[in-house]
Structure 1
Amino acid sequence: MSPADFRRYALFYLGYYGALGAYTPYIGRWVTANGHGGYVVGAMLALWYGGRIVAPPTWARLSARSATPGHWLIAGCVLAALGFAAFAGFAHGAMLFVVMAWFGVFFNAVMPQFEAMTLSALGPRNHDYGRIRMWGSVGFLVVAGTYGWLLDRLGNDAFVWLTLPWLALTVAAAWLHRDDRPPPVSSTGTTPRGELWRRPGVRHLLVTALLMQLGFGPFYVFYTLHLQAQGHDGFAVGVLWAIGVLCEIGMFWLAPRLVQRFGAHRLMTACLLATIGRWVIVAMFGGSFAWMALAQTGHALSFAAFHAGCMRRMAELFPQRREMAAAQGLLYGFSGGIGGVAGAGVAAVAWQLGGGRWAFLAGAALACVALAAHVLPARAVRPVAVSET
């Protein structure tokens, strides 16, 4: 990949995850500021993750059949930006959920497509994925680390307007990929999704990723609200998010060497162990900034290294480039979609019953289940060199 191509791919991750850095930490704050309770927050995030179930596989099929997949990327980004802008006019009633569903579908549709484009462009150098994906963490860091302070001063109504520029950057970055061409399709055509699902090792990876996502439910839905309930102000909340993302950035830079040295399976095992400890700390010591800062350093393993390990396993399990878009859609929809919806539901119930402590203890319990599923004997799958077909 040339330096110019590296910048094109990095810019899209920067814009996309910059927008996500506003949405994930602060959508719950915006919803509660408009008078809604924990169940509405959970329902909003469930709709968000629900978009990952339907949109990625559908979008992957449509873009894979197109001679100009870059045009599909642009269209998805434009529709996502328009959907998010509608939040400015619909903060209450049924339309709030309609707008959420619209935004969730299109915003979630484009990332699996772009992940496949990135891995395809990298080819056999897929271990360098983390150094491109790191720029998404930079965008997330800038936004998540500052928007708590900004919303304290500008008011929660500014949330939508502060987020839209990042979505506009995503559209602009997608435009740079408008002429990208799909990888050559072999004479055997596109592999059916059922065949991808039945491939040895795939279900084991998907179940592990789904359970990990379940355990992240309380974090994505209620972490900011949990910190506020424990007495932390907007500045402290932003700093804690920033600590996590800084550690994430460092890990994405180191991940290629760690994956090559230890292998994806052992690295993911360490990530799951770290995640269990992280959620227990958040549950039990939420009032302590020092303990919360320590817990946030765990984001390096529980998110960044785990994600890099998943991407390495995906490249091993789906060595043919023509399969990658469908495979990414399968992973994104199954783990991020089903796991996200279920995780938001579990988090909402636990939050209503016992607040942040119960929610994060539930997350720790789910991470334990994920660890058990991961270390259970699985049918061995020999890594295959990435093919150029």
Structure 2
Amino acid sequence: MPPTARWRFALFYLCYYAALGAYTPYFARWVDALGHGGYVIGTLLGLWYGSRILAPPLWTALLQRSTQPGRWFVAGSALTLLCFAAFTVTDSALGLFAVMALFGLFYNALMPQFEAMTLTALGPRVSEYGRLRVWGSVGFLLAAGSYGVLLDRFGSAAFPWLTLPLLAAMLVAAIPHRHDRPPGHAPSMADAGHLWKRPGVRRFLLVALLMQVGFGPFYVFYTLHLQAHGHDGVAVGALWAVGVLIEIALFWQAPRLIERFGAPRLLAACLAVTVLRWTVTALYADSFAIMALAQATHAFGFAVFHACCMRLIAEYFPGRRAVAGQSLLYGFSSGVGGVLGAGLAALMWERGGGEWAFLAGAAAVAVAWMIHALRARPATVSSPPPQ
């Protein structure tokens, strides 16, 4: 891939995840400022994660009927911007639900298509993927680290207006890809076939789902939890930035760690560290220093855990089944796990605030650790016989 083409892909990753870096940490703060409680916030984020289940297959079905999928990619980016703009004209719960359903449907459909376009463009040089994807983490870092200060300066009500320019930049970054194409055939989850019944697959997917449930309080209420314990926008932005900075660093080291310790053993360590992280976040949120140390473990709970999942999914779903396995993992963890995590977080937040919410997250991950520890076959999964 020539340097000019690499920058086209890097730029879209940067803009897409910059918008996500504004949305993920601060959307709940905006909804809370509108006067809505934890149940509304949890339902809105539940709709967001639910769209991750529906959007990719619906969008894929549309693309497979199109002779110009790249133009649909640009159209999806434009519709994402248009739907998010509707947040500026509604503040009722029903209005927010309707806008979220449409916004999530388009926004969450973009990245799976773009990932496929990226891998197609890289061809045999797939090892260069990390050098492109890291710009997404940079974009998330810049937005998450700065928007707390901006919202302190302009007020929480400015959130949608401050985020719109990032989505507009994403649309501009999408335009050069209007002629790009994903692979000719994108296998669906149904293509996984009998592999669903292979030893260890369902246990692994359940562990991934519960890990995402445990992250529910973090993605939905972390910013509000910190604010409730006296941290201002500068501190909140800095804590989000700490997590992403170390995440970027450890993403590069994850393959070496997996080669040295093995994915199953490293996965168990990630689960144990995350249980400790959510417990500390629940009980010691008053201390910026302790929260910074807790955020530093995000590199294990997200970066290394994700890398382990990718290694295991490649073993469980080898060869041409890999995309089907990715879809299955995405639907279970980010989709179903995200919905359940948002719901659990909302319920616990309303009953006992951030302490209860994060302790519930710790409990969900503790269950995941026990399920993983009791796995029947901890060794590397053998390849299936040729089909």
What's the TM-score once normalised by structure 2's chain length?
A: 0.89
CA RMSD, 1 decimal: 2.4
Aligned length: 379
Alpha-carbon distance change, 78 to 261 in structure 1, aligned in 2, over 3 angstroms: farther
Letter in 1 for 2:82: L
Could you list the per-position Cα deviations for residues 193-228 of structure 1 after superposition, in whole angstroms to 9, with x for gaps in the alignment? Answer: 334164135434432221111000000000000001
Matched with 1:115 is 115
Letter in 2 for 1:257: R
Query: What secondary structure does 1:176 align onto?
Result: helix
Letter in 1 for 2:214: G
Matched with 1:387 is none
Alpha-carbon distance change, 174 to 382 in structure 1, aligned in 2, over 3 angstroms: farther
Matched with 2:134 is 134
Taking the aligned partners of 1:362 and 1:167, their CA distance within structure 2 comes to 33
Letter in 2 for 1:196: A
Taking the aligned partners of 1:110 and 1:70, their CA distance within structure 2 comes to 11
Taking the aligned partners of 1:294 and 1:71, their CA distance within structure 2 comes to 44
Taking the aligned partners of 2:322 and 2:8, their CA distance within structure 1 comes to 20
Query: What secondary structure does 2:291 align onto?
Result: helix
* Contact 1:60/1:325 (<8 A) preserved: no
Query: What secondary structure does 2:177 align onto?
Result: coil
Matched with 2:189 is 193
**Counterpart mapping for 1:268-347 below 5 A:** 268-320=267-319, 326-347=324-345
Matched with 1:352 is 350
Taking the aligned partners of 2:77 and 2:316, their CA distance within structure 1 comes to 29
Matched with 2:243 is 244
**Greater shift after overlay, 60-69 or 215-224?**
60-69
* Contact 1:90/1:96 (<8 A) preserved: yes
Alpha-carbon distance change, 162 to 348 in structure 1, aligned in 2, over 3 angstroms: same
Could you list the per-position Cα deviations for residues 295-324 of structure 1 after superposition, in whole angstroms to 9, with x for gaps in the alignment? Answer: 000111111222233333444455556x66
Letter in 2 for 1:264: A
* Contact 1:146/1:238 (<8 A) preserved: yes
Letter in 2 for 1:211: L
Letter in 1 for 2:369: L
Matched with 2:372 is 374
Per-residue deviation, 1:172:
2.4
Taking the aligned partners of 1:281 and 1:365, their CA distance within structure 2 comes to 13
Alpha-carbon distance change, 80 to 198 in structure 1, aligned in 2, over 3 angstroms: farther
**Counterpart mapping for 1:164-179 below 5 A:** 164-179=164-179
Matched with 2:14 is 14
Taking the aligned partners of 2:260 and 2:361, their CA distance within structure 1 comes to 29
* Contact 1:120/1:324 (<8 A) preserved: no
Could you list the per-position Cα deviations for residues 334-387 of structure 1 after superposition, in whole angstroms to 9, with x for gaps in the alignment? Answer: 211111111001001111111111111111111112223334124953369xxx
**Greater shift after overlay, 342-351 or 156-165?**
156-165
Alpha-carbon distance change, 191 to 24 in structure 1, aligned in 2, over 3 angstroms: closer
Alpha-carbon distance change, 269 to 76 in structure 1, aligned in 2, over 3 angstroms: farther
* Contact 1:60/1:326 (<8 A) preserved: no
Taking the aligned partners of 1:2 and 1:266, their CA distance within structure 2 comes to 39
* Contact 1:130/1:256 (<8 A) preserved: no
* Contact 2:120/2:182 (<8 A) preserved: no
* Contact 1:128/1:256 (<8 A) preserved: no
Query: What secondary structure does 1:275 align onto?
Result: helix
* Contact 1:278/1:295 (<8 A) preserved: yes
* Contact 2:113/2:182 (<8 A) preserved: no
* Contact 2:116/2:182 (<8 A) preserved: no
Could you list the per-position Cα deviations for residues 228-285 of structure 1 after superposition, in whole angstroms to 9, with x for gaps in the alignment? Answer: 1111111111111111111111122323433444443333222212211111110111
**1:49 lines up with 2:49 in the alignment:** yes
Alpha-carbon distance change, 202 to 118 in structure 1, aligned in 2, over 3 angstroms: farther
Taking the aligned partners of 1:278 and 1:292, their CA distance within structure 2 comes to 9
* Contact 1:141/1:246 (<8 A) preserved: yes
Alpha-carbon distance change, 222 to 52 in structure 1, aligned in 2, over 3 angstroms: same
**Greater shift after overlay, 102-111 or 190-199?**
190-199
Letter in 2 for 1:249: I
Taking the aligned partners of 2:162 and 2:323, their CA distance within structure 1 comes to 31
Taking the aligned partners of 1:4 and 1:268, their CA distance within structure 2 comes to 37
Per-residue deviation, 1:64:
4.5
Taking the aligned partners of 1:245 and 1:108, their CA distance within structure 2 comes to 21
Taking the aligned partners of 1:129 and 1:62, their CA distance within structure 2 comes to 26
Taking the aligned partners of 2:308 and 2:4, their CA distance within structure 1 comes to 26
Taking the aligned partners of 1:251 and 1:383, their CA distance within structure 2 comes to 29
Taking the aligned partners of 1:335 and 1:113, their CA distance within structure 2 comes to 19
* Contact 1:74/1:171 (<8 A) preserved: yes
Query: What secondary structure does 2:153 align onto?
Result: helix
**Greater shift after overlay, 121-130 or 345-354?**
121-130
Taking the aligned partners of 2:208 and 2:64, their CA distance within structure 1 comes to 24
Taking the aligned partners of 2:315 and 2:118, their CA distance within structure 1 comes to 15
Taking the aligned partners of 2:201 and 2:64, their CA distance within structure 1 comes to 21
Matched with 2:97 is 97
Percent identity between the aligned chains? 60
Matched with 1:235 is 234
**Greater shift after overlay, 118-127 or 342-351?**
118-127
